[in-house]
Amino acid sequence: MKRPTILVLGAGYGGLATVVNLQKNIGTDVADITLINQNNYHYESTWLHEASAGTLRPDQVRYEIADVIKADKVKFVKASVEGIDIASKKVTTDNGEFTYDYLVIGLGFEGETFGIPGLDKYALSIANVKAARQIREHIEYQFATWSMDEVKDDSRLTIVVGGAGFTGIEFLGELGNRVPELCKEFDVPKDKVSIICVEASPMVLPGFDPELVEYAVGHLQAKGIEFSVGTPVVEATPEGVKIKKGEDEFEFIKAGTVVWAAGVRGNRLIEQSGIENMRARVKVDKDMRAPGHNDVFIVGDCALMINEEINRPYPPTAQIAMQQGVTVAKNIISLINGSATEEFVPDLKGSVCSLGEHDAIGVVFGKKITGTKASFMKKVIDNRSLYMIGGPSLVVKKGKFNLL
C-alpha cells in the first residue's frame, strides 16, 4: 500500500513547527514528508527589526533548516513555489513539480502597500533577512555619505517609518539605540538626525493597553523619535513621502530613508490557487483546514482565524503559528489513521513589544509589565520559540542570553 505524501510549503514558524512535530510523532513507514522552502534556512521574522536597524547581524536571526529536521524522516527541497493546483493536487516550483495527499501551506506574509503610489518603488520593507540587510546598509550609507559630502544635505539623515503597529514600534526602539552609535561612528551631530513615525490611524499600537502605549510613546520620544499620528501617507517619491494632515492639507517630508511597516497580507499564491481568501488569507475551519478542501491545511500568516469573543481576527503572531503547526501535525496523523481531527484553540500566554535592548511593554498571563522586566520576558519568549523547534542545542547556538 502506497504511503501518503505530506507536502509542507514554507519553513516559517507554522510550516517548520508542523514538520518538526510530524517527524517526532510519525514513522518513516507511515508517510513521506517533504518540506519545500525557497531558502535553506529559517529566519526568525520577529527579530527582523533588529537586523534592519543593525543591532543584530543578519546571520544571527537565521539558522539552517538541516539543523532541525531529520534527514531520514523529512525530505527537504530548496525551491520557490510558483503555483498551487488544488484540483490536481499538484505544486509547481522552480525545481520541479510535486504531488501530495496532504498539503500544508505556510508561505508567510507579503508587505501590503494599500495601493499608495510609489511605496513599492521608493520604500524599504522589513520583509526578510535580505531586506533587513538592505535597510541596515542603506541607513549606514546615508550616514557615511552625509559625513563625506562638502555640501551637507540633512534630509539624508531623516528616517521615516510608516506604521506604528508592532513591527514599526519595535523597529523604532532599535533605531533609538542604533542611531547614537552611527552618529559616533560617522561623526554626525545627533541633532542632525530625524526619526519620524507616520501612522494613518488615530492611535499607536492598536489593541494594546492605553497605559502601556503611553509608556512606549514616551520612551521613544525621549530617544528623539517624533510621531505624526492620524496622518496617512498618500505618496512616496525618491525624495521622501507626502502625508495628509487634514481635509485639504498635505505635507512633504524629505527623507533619505523610508521604511514601510504598516501592514502585511498573505502570500499571493493563495489568491491564484482557487482557495477562497481575503487579501491572500484563508478563513480556515476550526481544525485548520481550508474550507471545502479536506486535504489542505493553512498555517501562519496565510491563515485567518476569528476570535469569537471580540469578533476580530487573531493577530498572525509567531506564537499562534507555532501552536497551529502542532495541531496540524496531530490532525494529519489522525486523518492517516482514520481518526477525527481536533479543533485548534489558541493558548495566548501574552504579548510583549520591545522598545530596544533593555526596554519593552507587554501583558503576560494577564499582568501588565514594562521596562527591564518586560525586556527579560521578550527574550525568554524568543528563546522558547527556538527551543520548541530545535531543543536546547538551538537555544545554545542562537539564543539571547543578554537578558538584563
Read off φ and ψ for residue 7, nearest 5 degrees.
-115, 120
- Assess contact for 302 and 106: CB atoms under 8 A: yes
Q: Which residues are CB-contacts of 265 (< 8 A; sequence separation ≥ 6)?
A: 109, 110, 111, 112, 279, 280, 281
Q: Single out the residue of 360, 364, 368 nearest to residue 176, CA to CA.
A: 360
Instruction: Classify residue 118 as left (phi > 0), alpha (psi -120 to 50) or beta.
Output: left
Q: Within 13 Å of residue 399, how many CA atoms lie on the same side as its CB? A: 21
For every residue of 163-203, DSSP letters joined together read --SHHHHHHHHHHHHHHHHHHHHHT--GGG-EEEEEESSSS
Burial of 8 (0-12, 13-18, 19+ CB in 10 A): buried
* Active-site residue (options: 170, 181, 211, 357): 170
The residue type at 312: R
Q: What is the pLDDT of residue 1?
A: 64
| Domain 5-38+79-111+264-348, classified CATH 3.50.50.100, yes or no | yes
Q: What is the pLDDT of residue 110?
A: 87
Q: What is the pLDDT of residue 323?
A: 97
C-alpha cell at 95: 525545481
Read off φ and ψ for residue 81, nearest 5 degrees.
-70, 130
H or E segment to which residue 145 belongs: helix 129-148
| Domain definitions of the chain by residue range | 5-38+79-111+264-348, 113-262+349-404
Q: Single out the residue of 11, 178, 174 nearest to residue 105, CA to CA.
A: 11
> Is residue 53 helix, strand or coil?
helix
113-262+349-404 folds as FAD/NAD(P)-binding domain (3.50.50)
**Topology agreement, domain 5-38+79-111+264-348 and domain 113-262+349-404:** yes
Residues of the chain whose pLDDT is less than 70? 1, 403-404
H or E segment to which residue 160 belongs: strand 158-162
- Assess contact for 61 and 129: CB atoms under 8 A: yes
Q: What is the pLDDT of residue 246?
A: 84
| Gap between the Cα atoms of 4 and 103, Å rounded | 11
Q: What is the pLDDT of residue 362?
A: 95
Catalytic site includes residue 226 = no
- Assess contact for 304 and 284: CB atoms under 8 A: yes
